[in-house]
Structure 1
Amino acid sequence: MAAFATLAQGALRGALAAALLELPPCTSLDEWNAFRAGLNELVYTRFGVTVTDCLPVDLGDTVDYAAVLRARAAAIVPPVAPVIPVPAPQPVPMHVPDDASALRRLFLELPALSAQLRLLALPDGAFAAHRDLLQRLALAALAVNTMPALALAAPGVPLHATMRERRAAASAAALAALDEAWGVLAVMKGGGFDAARDDAERVVANLGYALARRRLVAPERTEPVL
């Protein structure tokens, strides 16, 4: 349940940040009902669950909003203060994304995402774009199903640690694209296929690019090819 709550909160924050859902200050009843409907659509398409109760809660003293606003103001306009020498910060260990967990979610959710996309009602002239998205998602699912092991460059050949970290980061990027794809699908279900066609194209392109980088066994070329 704790892991599910984390995933649900992350999906909701991502939808709010991308303006797929709106929860303005002093929300009216109509705005709250629209938010609740959008939230229900988001968690149903993403997790297969429905929202039974969705009620505003008074956080009371649990959140110091004045402190939050002061921190935002300080971040926007830093105060002028005398320079005081401070010790050098200690290096923070780099967080390595969970490659296996990301690939598992991609393996399980890409077919479900494709199935939901296939059921959309299409406007006139959208058949080719819809078919192209489905084909690219099928190729992405195939790439996940045949993805090489994280630690191997070839059978019996270990992969350099730097490339393992890059592969794990690519898996995390593919997973982020998948999360965004669920939000785009929710918009399409509410407003039609054309409501988010450009976003769908962008997200699927990012997904394919991240999965291609997950297969790399050597650093990408950065110098121009003559």
Structure 2
Amino acid sequence: MADNNLNGPPLLELSLAEPMDAPTFATIIVNSTVVDTRSPLSFAGGHIKGSYNIWLDGLPAFAGWMVDYEKDIMLVTERQEDIEIATRYLARIGFDKVRGYLCEGIEDWQNHGMMLEQSGLYTVDNLHDKLTQGDLFVLDVRDKEEYSEDHIPGAVNIYVGELEKRLDEVPSDRPVVSVCSTGNRSGLGASILARGGFKTVYNLIGGMTAWKEKGYSAF
């Protein structure tokens, strides 16, 4: 039992998701949750509307905050071999409804002429230059302890796990820049904002690590 908790269920007990082409995938996602495990950079370049961007190794920690246990899960991944890893991670925390995955990747979706959404990216230099203009809302999605240690001047802290329930605290009439330590949690935060109807959302690539590396001020 201890070994299963560490490594997930044995492969024979693991029900792998069904491979689907883009048209089939599109019909199923209407009543499902799409989880895109690609990198924040790949996700920003083009993703299916309404997807959560939970990077692969972040699934065990963050899927439980976002995903409805009663709904089927549909996966979009960077590589074919990520399907088993993602399914195992999800099974380990009680998700047993991983129904299908986009077998030819996001390119198949695009090649079938289906709509892709894009989200914005900021470098730390971009953000530093824009901060003086005062029209950006900087959202720090790290936990309170990380935020207390240091944060970008003026940033407001809402932990990414709580963000979906606190969207009313984020202004919808200003561009929002999502920030974490490196760009993964902030990528998830940006996808949550997009799902919530926010139109102008950016992910800060490199996060606070890159910000401090540049020597920019942090409180």
Give the TM-score normalised by the residue count of structure 1. Answer: 0.26
Which has the larger Rg? 1
Bigger helix fraction: 1
Higher strand proportion (structure 1 or 2) = 2
